[in-house]
């Protein structure tokens, strides 16, 4: 019964291209990219308690790896995307190993430092990445939006499925224990070093996968992908959708991406709207707006469907 809304959303998502073509379908594809990033980031931040600001940079690692390999080695796009995810996982391992003993703000600032270094490298380097011009990348399915949309949807469903499988396993239990108290988990036998790295590697791999997908959707990768404002967007989407709910974070991304397009005429002011939304969410519904709405709708549905007892009036 609890899975019913998720299946309902999936059916809606499958039917979406029947009603929306071209522009809004493209917006939805970009929404799927951010949904991949938000859900994997919420796994790291909401379920494990590791606040990393390098997630957008990991996506850029995936995007550039896939782009360079596809352009230079002429490998199939799907292989490029997979190798991009592997490269991001490798970077995730390095950053995870570097920050093993760090907690809270120290960890967050170190990941921010990595993200900035990587972005500056992409901008300053020219032979490989063409600096701030970026790289022209072949489009997947020759730009067929419907096929691209279903590929993105498939990737999101697969990502959520894998992440929920992990959360439901003993590893998920260990990660949740570590979020609450790392020393407590370690003294009950949890190899916290291993599982911390595990969380970094898995979530970075999904960020890389998202990045690779994005590269072959928009046909251009540039250092803008690793901008801190991109990370801010992922953060806003995850908080809005519900930091501790993977599905909520994914939905938050799709809703806010739709809102971004809707508010396009406001130009840079839409970021201020996002900021206000995050503040509003954190103040009034820290568990996220979407889980709150779902809870309210559920309560209303149950109230309506309850039979009126005889003599109750």
Q: Tell me which residues touch other proteins (CB under 8 A).
A: 170, 173-174, 176-177, 180-181, 183-193
Closest CA to 144 of 63, 84, 216, 69: 216
Closest CA to 232 of 263, 192, 278: 278
Cβ proximity to other proteins: between 21 and 188 the closer is 188
CB 171 → other proteins: shortest distance, Å?
A: 9
Cβ proximity to other proteins: between 149 and 174 the closer is 174
Cβ of 283: how many Cβ atoms within 10 Å? 8
Q: Yes or no: say if 132 and 208 are a contact pair by the CB < 8 Å rule.
A: no
Cβ proximity to other proteins: between 8 and 184 the closer is 184
CB 173 → other proteins: shortest distance, Å?
A: 6
CB 102 → other proteins: shortest distance, Å?
A: 17
Q: Which pairing describes strands 220-221 and 135-136: parallel, antiparallel, or unpaired?
A: antiparallel
Cβ proximity to other proteins: between 188 and 264 the closer is 188
Cβ proximity to other proteins: between 102 and 112 the closer is 102
Q: Is 224 exposed, middle or buried (0-12, 13-18, 19+ CB in 10 A)?
A: middle
Q: How far is CA 179 from CA 186, 223, 293, in A?
A: 12, 32, 26
SS3 25: helix
CB 104 → other proteins: shortest distance, Å?
A: 18
Give exposure, 109-136, as e/b (b: 16+ Cβ within 10 Å): ebbbebbbebbeebbeeeeebeeeebbe
Q: Yes or no: say if 122 and 56 are a contact pair by the CB < 8 Å rule.
A: no
CB 179 → other proteins: shortest distance, Å?
A: 8
Distance CA 146, CA 141 (A): 9
Cβ proximity to other proteins: between 175 and 226 the closer is 175
* Residue 192: partners with Cβ closer than 8 Å, 6 or more residues away: 178, 182, 185, 186
CB 190 → other proteins: shortest distance, Å?
A: 6
CB 245 → other proteins: shortest distance, Å?
A: 14
CB 180 → other proteins: shortest distance, Å?
A: 5
Cβ proximity to other proteins: between 157 and 186 the closer is 186
Radius of gyration of the chain (CA): 20
Cβ proximity to other proteins: between 187 and 229 the closer is 187
């Amino acid at each position: 019964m609890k899975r019913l809304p998720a299946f309902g959303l999936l059916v809606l998502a499958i039917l979406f291209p029947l009603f929306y073509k071209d522009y809004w379908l493209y917006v939805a594809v970009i929404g799927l990219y951010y949904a991949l990033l938000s859900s994997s980031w919420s796994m790291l931040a909401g379920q494990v308690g590791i606040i990393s600001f390098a997630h957008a940079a990991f996506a850029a690692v995936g995007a550039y790896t896939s782009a360079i390999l596809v352009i230079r080695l002429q490998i199939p796009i799907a292989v490029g995307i997979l190798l991009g995810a592997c490269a991001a996982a490798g970077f995730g391992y390095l950053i995870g190993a570097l920050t093993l003993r760090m907690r809270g703000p120290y960890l967050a600032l170190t990941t921010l430092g990595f993200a900035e270094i990587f972005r500056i490298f992409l901008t300053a380097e020219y032979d490989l990445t063409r600096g701030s011009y970026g790289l022209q990348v072949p489009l997947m399915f020759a730009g067929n939006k419907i096929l691209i949309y279903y590929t993105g949807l498939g990737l999101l469903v697969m990502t959520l499925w894998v992440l929920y499988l992990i959360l439901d396993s003993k590893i998920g239990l260990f990660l949740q224990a570590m979020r609450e108290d790392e020393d407590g988990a370690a003294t009950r036998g949890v190899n916290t070093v291993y599982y911390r790295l595990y969380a970094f590697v898995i979530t970075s791999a999904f960020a890389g996968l998202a990045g690779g997908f994005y590269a072959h959707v928009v046909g251009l990768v540039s250092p803008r992908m690793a901008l801190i404002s991109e990370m801010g967007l992922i953060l806003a989407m995850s908080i809005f959708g519900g930091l501790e709910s993977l599905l909520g974070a994914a939905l938050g991304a799709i809703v806010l991406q739709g809102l971004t397009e809707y508010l396009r005429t406001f130009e840079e002011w839409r970021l201020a709207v996002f900021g206000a939304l995050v503040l509003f969410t954190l103040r009034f519904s820290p568990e996220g707006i979407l889980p709150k709405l779902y809870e309210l709708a559920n309560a209303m549905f149950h109230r309506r469907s309850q039979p009126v007892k005889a003599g109750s009036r």
